[in-house]
Structure 1
């Protein structure tokens, strides 16, 4: 399984999630957007158009780390990423 992770190294939750991905051997592409406006625009498009972010926006949170699976579905939960990776292994 390969997953896309949106986030920033300035976020402790993103740093922890990346460590877990590495530790579990899960392939991922990190769309680190703190210094890449293109990645930030891609993330904001997801955030502004997907209901998974409704609570995030209501609470004025950023919504990272965010994970996008190969089928296009999204998750904000690293445990779900690990579970899906284990199921596919």
Structure 2
């Protein structure tokens, strides 16, 4: 299964999701770092600005990452609804509030 993931290395949920997906042999992950270059950020913002899935995200002041697009075109913020992820108890070193505008810990 191919999955495109938009995220950022400063987002703890993104770091964890990328690590989990990379560990799965049956997943072809295309990771797109939205803070890596302007073109990728603009690509992500095009989804965020125009896709209905982001409405609640924008209204609550969140960014909307990690954001996943499945190979069938379906979009989600919760990849665990579509594939079995490995159980992981290890936390990332990045505090959850680091990618939250409102400092409430949700990206």
State the TM bucket, normalised to the shorter chain. Answer: 0.7 to 0.9
The structure with the larger Rg is: 2
Question: How does the TM-score come out when normalised to structure 2?
Answer: 0.72
More helix by share: 1
Question: How does the TM-score come out when normalised to structure 1?
Answer: 0.85
Say how many residue pairs are matched. Answer: 83
Distance in 2, matches of 1:11 and 1:20, equals 14
What RMSD in Å do the two structures reach over aligned CA positions?
1.2
Distance in 1, matches of 2:10 and 2:40, equals 15
What pairs with 1:25-40 in structure 2 (closer than 5 Å)?
25=25, 26-40=27-41
Q: Residue 64 of structure 2 aligns to a residue in which SS?
A: coil
1:71 Cα deviation after fit: 2.3
Q: 1:67, 1:81 within 8 Å by CA — same for their partners in 2?
A: no
What pairs with 1:14-25 in structure 2 (closer than 5 Å)?
14-25=14-25
Distance in 2, matches of 1:4 and 1:62, equals 17
Q: Residue 24 of structure 1 aligns to a residue in which SS?
A: coil
Q: Which residue is equivalent to 2:8?
A: 8
Q: Residue 43 of structure 1 aligns to a residue in which SS?
A: helix
Q: Which residue is equivalent to 2:61?
A: 60
Structure 1 residues without counterparts, runs of 5 or longer: 84-89
